[in-house]
Chains A and B, each alone.
Chain A
Amino acid sequence: MIQVTIQLLAFFAAAVLVIIGIAGMLFLDNLIKKIIAFTLLSDGVNLLLVAVGYVEGGIVSILLPGMSTSEFASRAVLVFPVGIVLTNIVIGVSTTAILVALAIVLYRRYGTLKASKVLKGERR
């Protein structure tokens, strides 16, 4: 019997978000829906990273006054994934902005948001 911890729940939720995101990006036909699916995928990656850094029974990684460094080192959740997640949030926003801008430009050119029409290859 696996004991359900909060970390396991986080891995489960991250897997759900990643699978829903990838499936949505691949199979949905609307460009805006694809972009929303990408934000879900990015959220799933964030959750996975934070869950990797979680320490069972740990404390928030802020060095409070009066706390010894070795105790902090042994109990605090990992700091590095937090930095990665902040980067990923920024990258997710900029990627979303570029995708939305390209979708607007292509909507003006072709008059539709259907990916099967907009992204169809041209005969050369």
Chain B
Amino acid sequence: MTESISNLWSIALLVTIPIFATIIVNLLFNRNRAIKYISLISALSLVVITILSPYGFQWFTGQPALNPNTLTFTFDASIPAWRMALEFYFGPLQQVLIFVMALILVLVIGIATNGLTKNQGPYIGMIFLLFMSAAIIIMVNDLYHLWIAVEIGSLVVVGVVAASGEGIGQKAALKYALFSALSGAGLAIALALILGLTGYSNISDAIRYIQTTNLAGMSSILYVAFGFFILSWIYAGGLVPIHPLKSEVYGAAFPHGTAMLQAQSKLMLVAIGLVMLRLFGSLPFAREVMLSISVLTMMLGVVMALLQTDLRWILAYLIVSHSGLVTVGISLGTYDALVGGLFQAVNDVLYMSVLLLGCEAVYYFGKGTSTKTAVGIAKKAPWLALAMVLGTFAASGIPPFNGFQSKIILIQSALKVGLPEVAVVILILSVTTFIALFRGIYSIFLKPAETTPLAVSGSVPSEAQEDDKETPIPRGLYLSLAILVVITLILGVYPDLVIRFLTPVAQAVSIPWYP
């Protein structure tokens, strides 16, 4: 597809349709049927727009002048207009990532409109805003909108987590809100520093200025800006110093909300990581700092996951540790590693959604998701157990599934740049993921239900055992699981379906690694 020079229709629609959907479902508040149809139609239209859209730009100020020689006024009267300003770009990477996000949005809305009964409008609205912030942040090419999208995204994450209504959710929401206030202000400071240093907020222009101008004495400012970027990167993905906080956020939200949250977090990680790689990738020690944070995240997250006894919390820590895989690819920064990291982001969103929606289904049996209380569900729901096991295979990188393809690319690229330690850590992560997940899934699904309490308490009427509110799983949940499992299988067999979308970005951004 060709790139057009005028503004693209689809970018504006990708941002405004979620906003209008949010406003409408907020006004409908509790009219559940209307909310269901309107939100499903909006989400499906987002999927269709993402597939049909050509590639191109959206300029907010300083649109391309009619005559290239005329110069319009913005900051500096000598700058040509068209690389000037606030710019969104919709390209192959954006297409595939937004498509995956929109797919998850459709499935999550289908589930949330069935499951929730109270205050449905605002909750669905917040899920739409999550999609919008992620879509903006993956499309921006200027620091101003990057910062705005991070701020909107953080406020919406706080809302989704607090909506779970438990004490631990509200605690996690307040902690996350405080930290996001800090890191949002840090990102604004970084924006101010780069704006003051280069005079541009457009990232491409700022990079060109930094590379072509001698920043004598001022290059320390770049390090300060890099530090604040690292802060917001850590916050966006829950990387190592705050991994307990982000996993509390994941664990405390509803599981379908977590599916949306983790997709948004992966997109934010990719977007901020690519910006950091482009702006600061040539600074000494920058990529080493990013790489060490990623490796520590993988190790610590998976160790914490081994200690949990609740499927929800196992998944929460695993999501954080698998974010480390995405960031390893981005911080290595070579062509292969970037392809692997971006592909891992797509795969991660898909297989973690399988596991999270399966975890949501476990709730319908009325005994929670703790490995101690919920046992023997495989007999009641064999297809659910099959989907969970297949999701586990995908997450731990077992060959016919998609997790294998991206992990093998990452391992090979780590070996190629001469860092076998990183490859070993990725292998350990795969094996430990399998152990942690299978331990939880075995005791929830396969372990036989204990019948001893019935036999002992003979005086208690048998209805007392059946008082748990067990409800049939809606068909939509099974359908979503089936769709996601099929997609993971297809991507595992034909990885080129996605990889050909990722190669242009990897070629444009990659920097050779020299230790």
B170–A106 touching, CB < 8 Å = yes
Q: How far is the CA of A45 from the CA of B158 in the complex (A)?
A: 22
Query: B194 → chain A, closest Cβ, in Å?
Result: 10
Chain A residue numbers with a CB within 8 Å of B168 are 122
| Chain A positions 49 through 82: 1 when the CB is less than 8 Å from some CB of chain B, otherwise 0 | 1001000000000000000011011100010110
The answer to the question of A20 belonging to the interface, with a C-beta cut-off of 8 Å to chain B, is no
Do A118 and B182 contact each other (CB < 8 Å), given the known contacts A70-B77, A88-B188, A102-B162?
Answer: no
A91–B184 touching, CB < 8 Å = yes
Chain A residue numbers with a CB within 8 Å of B253 are none
Do A69 and B73 contact each other (CB < 8 Å), given the known contacts A91-B184, A98-B155, A98-B158?
Answer: yes
Partner of A102, one of B74, B158, B191, B309: B158
B189–A84 touching, CB < 8 Å = no
B174–A103 touching, CB < 8 Å = yes
B77–A106 touching, CB < 8 Å = no
Q: How far is the CA of A31 from the CA of B178 in the complex (A)?
A: 10
Chain A contact residues: helix, strand, loop or mixed: helix
| Chain A positions 8 through 46: 1 when the CB is less than 8 Å from some CB of chain B, otherwise 0 | 000000000010011001000001001000100110110
Q: How far is the CA of A80 from the CA of B181 in the complex (A)?
A: 22
Chain B contact residues: helix, strand, loop or mixed: helix
Q: How far is the CA of A98 from the CA of B416 in the complex (A)?
A: 47
B178–A109 touching, CB < 8 Å = no
Interface size class for chain A? 35 or more
Chain A residue numbers with a CB within 8 Å of B191 are 49, 84
Q: How far is the CA of A98 from the CA of B191 in the complex (A)?
A: 24
The answer to the question of B303 belonging to the interface, with a C-beta cut-off of 8 Å to chain A, is no
A106–B171 touching, CB < 8 Å = yes
A95–B244 touching, CB < 8 Å = no
B189–A48 touching, CB < 8 Å = yes
The answer to the question of B351 belonging to the interface, with a C-beta cut-off of 8 Å to chain A, is no
A81–B192 touching, CB < 8 Å = yes
Query: A105 → chain B, closest Cβ, in Å?
Result: 6
Q: How far is the CA of A9 from the CA of B75 in the complex (A)?
A: 23
A99–B182 touching, CB < 8 Å = no
The answer to the question of B299 belonging to the interface, with a C-beta cut-off of 8 Å to chain A, is no
Chain A CB within 10 Å — which of B170, B178, B185 has the most? B185
The answer to the question of A119 belonging to the interface, with a C-beta cut-off of 8 Å to chain B, is yes
Query: B325 → chain A, closest Cβ, in Å?
Result: 25
A94–B155 touching, CB < 8 Å = yes
Query: A52 → chain B, closest Cβ, in Å?
Result: 4
A95–B73 touching, CB < 8 Å = no
Chain A residue numbers with a CB within 8 Å of B162 are 102, 105
Q: Which A residue sits closest to B196, measured CB to CB?
A: A52
Chain B residue numbers with a CB within 8 Å of A34 are 178
Partner of A74, one of B77, B171, B182: B77
Query: A38 → chain B, closest Cβ, in Å?
Result: 5
Query: A104 → chain B, closest Cβ, in Å?
Result: 10
The answer to the question of A116 belonging to the interface, with a C-beta cut-off of 8 Å to chain B, is no
A124–B310 touching, CB < 8 Å = yes
Chain A residue numbers with a CB within 8 Å of B182 are 22, 25, 38, 41
The answer to the question of B296 belonging to the interface, with a C-beta cut-off of 8 Å to chain A, is no
The answer to the question of B114 belonging to the interface, with a C-beta cut-off of 8 Å to chain A, is no
Q: How far is the CA of A44 from the CA of B155 in the complex (A)?
A: 21
Q: How far is the CA of A74 from the CA of B75 in the complex (A)?
A: 9
The answer to the question of B175 belonging to the interface, with a C-beta cut-off of 8 Å to chain A, is yes
Query: B92 → chain A, closest Cβ, in Å?
Result: 30
The answer to the question of B195 belonging to the interface, with a C-beta cut-off of 8 Å to chain A, is yes
A102–B181 touching, CB < 8 Å = no
Chain B residue numbers with a CB within 8 Å of A80 are 74-75, 144, 195, 201
The answer to the question of B412 belonging to the interface, with a C-beta cut-off of 8 Å to chain A, is no
Partner of B155, one of A74, A95, A105: A95
A119–B184 touching, CB < 8 Å = no
Shortest Cβ-Cβ A-B pairs, 8 listed: A52-B196, A102-B174, A73-B77, A45-B188, A49-B192, A48-B192, A38-B181, A91-B151
Could you list 19 A-B pairs, sorted by A, with CB under 8 Å?
Answer: A21-B185, A41-B181, A41-B185, A45-B188, A45-B189, A49-B188, A72-B73, A87-B148, A88-B188, A91-B151, A95-B155, A95-B177, A95-B181, A102-B162, A102-B174, A118-B174, A119-B174, A122-B168, A124-B308
- Tell me the A residues contacting B by CB distance below 8 Å: 18, 21-22, 25, 31, 34, 38, 41-42, 44-45, 48-49, 52, 69-70, 72-74, 78, 80-81, 83-84, 87-88, 91, 94-95, 98-99, 102-103, 105-106, 109-110, 118-119, 121-122, 124
Given contacts A84-B192, A102-B170, A122-B168, 11 further A-B contacts (CB under 8 A): A25-B181, A38-B181, A48-B192, A52-B196, A84-B144, A91-B148, A95-B155, A99-B178, A102-B158, A119-B174, A124-B309
